[in-house]
A and B are shown apart, each in its own frame.
Chain A
Amino acid sequence: MKTENKNFSSRQKSGPYASLDEFVQSKLERAKRTLSHVDLSKITGYKAEKNN
């Protein structure tokens, strides 16, 4: 997903991420590591279990 941010001006960079895309990719990589052994079906299937 392209996530350019054109609303804020560009000068010399001081934050750890030069772009929103770079930031988002870093967050996704971190999340994927945390989720690598998580069984999400327990969450996605929870409501169905309650209804049955």
Chain B
Amino acid sequence: MQQEYYPYQHYANSLRFEFTSKSSYKTVNKVVIYTPFEKNNQLYNLSLVDALPDGSFDDKSVTNNLDMKKVLATVVRTIFHFFDKYPTKLIYIEGSTPERTRLYRIIISAEVDHLENILEIWGIKNSLPELFRKNQNYDAYVIKSKNKLVW
């Protein structure tokens, strides 16, 4: 993935990443967090959230900082970083809204050809997992590493 990305800091054994989205309009602090599921610690939930200046968090607002590709490229870098440390784990991704889950599908569709040699991407629709197919709507996604990460 050649898209420019933001520098980030990582904490908590590379389960929490922080970076700052910057434009001429505003600066927004972003947090990417990987959380294991209680009953299946092979699976980690990926969440992206805005850290607001007052200390609260918001994942539903539209940041509208005109840098969506750069923000999502940064999230992809954290995925590579995560798999570098936890190569056998799985990442679960579900948007905060159906619209955002569809947005993720569009982004994955655009990048899947570049990523398919290093990542295995699954879509889940009506509780049925299948290997990701472009132009299919999914409820959520699961990503596995093929252990060939070079980043």
Contact = CB atoms under 8 A, between A and B. Distances in A.
Nearest to A31: B45
Contacts of B54: 9-15
A8 B55 contact: yes
Interface string A15-36: 1111110111001101110111
B57 A3 contact: no
**Dominant SS at the B interface?**
strand
Interface string B120-138: 1010100111010000000
Contacts of B65: none
A3 B56 contact: no
Interface in B17-59: 18, 29, 31, 33, 35-38, 40, 42-43, 45, 47, 49-59
* Cβ-closest 5 pairs across A and B: A15-B56, A15-B58, A10-B55, A13-B56, A37-B127
